[in-house]
Structure 1
């Protein structure tokens, strides 16, 4: 099977995954298998300058990511923030990351390859490959990993969208259930029930879905509650 066929097969398998987490895990494992990497992981960029590692082929990968986050230095962060690809042949002696590099070397990692994961509208994070030998990654590894990252970016972007849609559907379902309970309990309209939920959310600084959950739980425990103030 040539590289194009193999990547197509991987793309089909990624498309079949149902969750963002399982998609990320499959990406990390395939990237490790198709290159000279000993380890692989994904670092996600999240709002408010926060980060997460949804997939790692070993605990060492998570530690390498956490070191970059705490030091605010490393190839994964640079692939997200600056140019799209970073390759390092000797972590102990690479002056681009004077603190993280030696720390990575102490963990047994000498070579790294980080490639940005991005969609048309979003910078998703970075695919990060790690190897124990010095100079482990060659031009073929970079080419394979870059092609793979493009397929992975599409799969992750789709998973993010589908997960967001699922969460939105769940939220609407809970809010609708809470509206129905309030309408039946107090003889108010759907608009008045929603206004009550919205007002409580603002006044108590609690998410609208959490207020809806509370109403549903109160109903389940047969609590009568207090009659809401109508708008």
Structure 2
């Protein structure tokens, strides 16, 4: 990935050194049948480590209609993803509808997406790359890479982004045979419900500890990792009072 003004470029040798550990983490998570949220967090980390993305997000076609945000690396990127679903426009929406990767190297120079474009610029993002997420020939969602500066992806980086999108799909649907699409639909609904539960827990922790929502989310995720518990279980325990918000404050 290179910035259009030449101010920054990903060091290929650095990426080469990072590819093996990043993909090893992802494949190990798939082999261990980790929950989808864990796999999506590893995909997010890989997008940052390997492709220099400032933030990431995942949209999935909602079986109930429309599209839904199932993963975002922070609240600012979550807002941009939600904007695409509400405005029904944007790179990831086009990516899912057309089944092809969609890239904008400089949003400021774009004439597409009249609602999405100015709001994304106001949020600080200047470039977006969306890769389709496919299962059994169907496009089920899209992986968004968001950049704070104008940027273009080289062909090998676009292929790597597609690999990460494919691994995200595997994390959401580790099943064989004709039942896979049905199972993914079920998992999508579960993931959406888990997201709502986590959002409630984040708000509770943020309000109680007087910290920002991104800090609260990180502390919950760190606590879940240290405790060896699924994030959904920790979020549920926080919202029903089994865990006090102060308990996650010590997460490192």
TM-score for both structures, normalised by structure 2: 0.58
What corresponds to 2:52 in structure 1?
36
CA root-mean-square deviation: 2.7
What corresponds to 2:156 in structure 1?
140
Q: Is the 8 A contact 1:109 1:131 kept in 2?
A: yes
In structure 2, the residue corresponding to 1:158 is in which secondary structure?
A: coil
Q: Is the 8 A contact 1:7 1:148 kept in 2?
A: no
Q: Distance in 2 between matches of 1:21 and 1:69?
A: 20
Matched, 1:25 2:23: no
1:171-202 per-residue CA deviation (whole Å, 9 max, x = no partner) reads xxxxxxxxxxxxxxxxxxxxxxxxxxxxxxxx
**Residues 79 and 19 of structure 1: CA distance in aligned 2, closer, same or farther (over 3 Å):** same
**Residues 162 and 83 of structure 1: CA distance in aligned 2, closer, same or farther (over 3 Å):** closer
TM-score for both structures, normalised by structure 1: 0.63
Which segments of 5 or more consecutive residues in structure 2 lack a partner in the other structure?
A: 1-15, 190-252
What corresponds to 2:135 in structure 1?
119
Which segments of 5 or more consecutive residues in structure 1 lack a partner in the other structure?
A: 168-231
Deviation, structure 1 residue 49 = 2.1
1:124-180 per-residue CA deviation (whole Å, 9 max, x = no partner) reads 211100000112433332121112222222222228848959x9xxxxxxxxxxxxx
Matched, 1:90 2:82: no
**Residues 4 and 133 of structure 1: CA distance in aligned 2, closer, same or farther (over 3 Å):** closer
Map residues 1-231 of structure 1 onto 2, 5 A cutoff: 5-6=20-21, 8-9=23-24, 10-120=26-136, 122-158=138-174, 161=183, 164=186
The structure with the largest alpha-carbon Rg is 1
Q: Is the 8 A contact 2:61 2:67 kept in 1?
A: yes
What is the aligned length?
166
In structure 2, the residue corresponding to 1:116 is in which secondary structure?
A: strand
